[in-house]
Amino acid sequence: MRVAITNLGKIVSGKWDDPFRVGDTIVTDNGLISYVGSAGAADVAGADVVIDAVGMVAMPGLIDSHVHVTFGDYTPRQKTVGFLESYVHGGVTTAISASEVHVPGRPKDPEGVKALAVAAFKCFEHYRPGGMRVHAGALILEPGLTKQDLKEVRSKGVWLVKAGFGAFETPYGYADQIAWAKELGMITLVHTGGASIPGSSGIWGDHLLHLRPHVSFHVNGGPVAVPDKDFPRLVSESDIALQICTAGNLRTTLLVANLLVEANAFERLLIGTDTPTGSGIMPLGMLYTISHLSSLTTIPVELAIAAATGNNAAVYRLNSGIIDKGRDADIVLIDAAEGGSQADALSALRNGDIPAVGAVLAGGVPQFVGRSRNTPPTTRRARVTHSSVTQLFP
């Protein structure tokens, strides 16, 4: 499918160090972005679908880097069906598993955790709820797992490992397994802060500096934040990506973000939601955290968006999260909400408002055009001006 989005007011790239793209048009082809710039009628001729953005802002689809998926679009923690599809209406086009720890009767022996990770990975290998791409199957590290075990699951596609829920005597016990995972090219994730479920333990600055994972999860609290004194050390003594989550401590969110800005290390700031957990389902969680950073710090809106898109893409080695030729065609149109005090989406976010979502493309396919069911209506109305395909999207 070839899709052209025209008449854009601004294009936010998702790259923190190059945050805008010049032009008013994005063209996608077979799931990838093929053109970004200024275009006339002749340049979009032949598109299967043409969307008039009527001056709205385009940004990459949001990447929620902390979602506790299980199997399919269902969460037993909240007994909710369709939560991932609902997140698409909040602009989220990619979800990354923070481990399938909430699967009822979760196994804890080496064979069981391997089977769980492979099954979750395979579940979402071709299944895209609401068009969303889900990177599932985070191997939960437990005592007894060997380097050969990690090689086995890696050979079957699993590329995420998660420390923090295993039955180690202390968090230092994860060190060998994290090192093996890194050698195998896997992305290593560590639960950070206080214990969140029975069987888990608190993980603090000293542990992280010893383990050296790729990502320290919810440093602002999941549910309890790392002590303030640990943050300067994590920023200055490591290159660990520090993830902040909507379900955490807002004061600490702002503290971490400002420290990374001061250290000229903004690329290490990642946004996720840490849902669905005890905090519930949060279809607009990513947008809330972007609005918090934009309105309560001096961080520009376009950089806050990058922390939810391109920064996540870089750390997790994804092709999504950035609007550029050759990147995945995951694109969201946002605007100021109707009846608000601001004239455009970026001004609304700077004001602390949630923007309205007017259209979402995931994998180059329009999922809806016109209005999200989870936000107020947009001030402007995106519309399909041409379609030569059977229109499955509203």
Domain containing residue 130: 62-283
Q: Kindly state the average pLDDT of the residues 291-296.
A: 98
Q: Is the pLDDT of residue 343 over 60?
A: yes
Judging by beta carbons within 10 Å of its beta carbon (0-12, 13-18, 19+), is residue 274 exposed, middle or buried?
buried
CA distances from 60 to 189, 194, 318, 391 (A): 24, 33, 13, 23
Are 69 and 55 part of one and the same domain?
no
| Domain CATH number, residue 136 | 3.20.20.140
Q: Which of 283, 311, 346 is the last residue of a domain?
A: 283
Are 136 and 214 part of one and the same domain?
yes
Convert the pLDDT of each residue in 242-273 to its tens digit: 999 999 999 999 999 999 999 999 999 999 99
Q: Kindly state the average pLDDT of the residues 58-78.
A: 97
Taking the C-alpha atoms of residue 51 and residue 26, their distance in angstroms, rounded to an integer, is: 10
Residue 45: per-residue pLDDT: 86
Report phi then psi at 43, rounded to 5. -75, -20
Are 363 and 233 part of one and the same domain?
no
Is 371 part of any domain? yes
Convert the pLDDT of each residue in 217-240 to its tens digit: 999 997 899 999 999 999 999 999
Q: Is the pTM of this model over 0.85?
A: yes
Is 249 part of any domain? yes
Q: Is the pLDDT of residue 394 over 90?
A: no
Q: Is the pLDDT of residue 294 over 90?
A: yes
Q: Kindly state the average pLDDT of the residues 66-71.
A: 97
Rounded to 5°, angle at Cα 279 from 165 and 233? 55
Taking the C-alpha atoms of residue 332 and residue 60, their distance in angstroms, rounded to an integer, is: 6
In the numeric block, which tokens belong to residue 264? 């000229």
Is 16 part of any domain? yes
Residue 100 C-alpha from the chain's centroid: 16
| Domain CATH number, residue 348 | 2.30.40.10
Are 34 and 70 part of one and the same domain?
no
Q: Tell me the percentage of the chain whose pLDDT exceeds 90.
A: 92
Is 180 part of any domain? yes
The count of domains in the chain is: 2
Q: Kindly state the average pLDDT of the residues 357-381.
A: 96
Residue 4: per-residue pLDDT: 97
Q: Kindly state the average pLDDT of the residues 344-360.
A: 98
Residue 200: per-residue pLDDT: 60
Is 301 part of any domain? no
Are 76 and 104 part of one and the same domain?
yes
Convert the pLDDT of each residue in 179-199 to its tens digit: 999 999 999 999 999 876 555
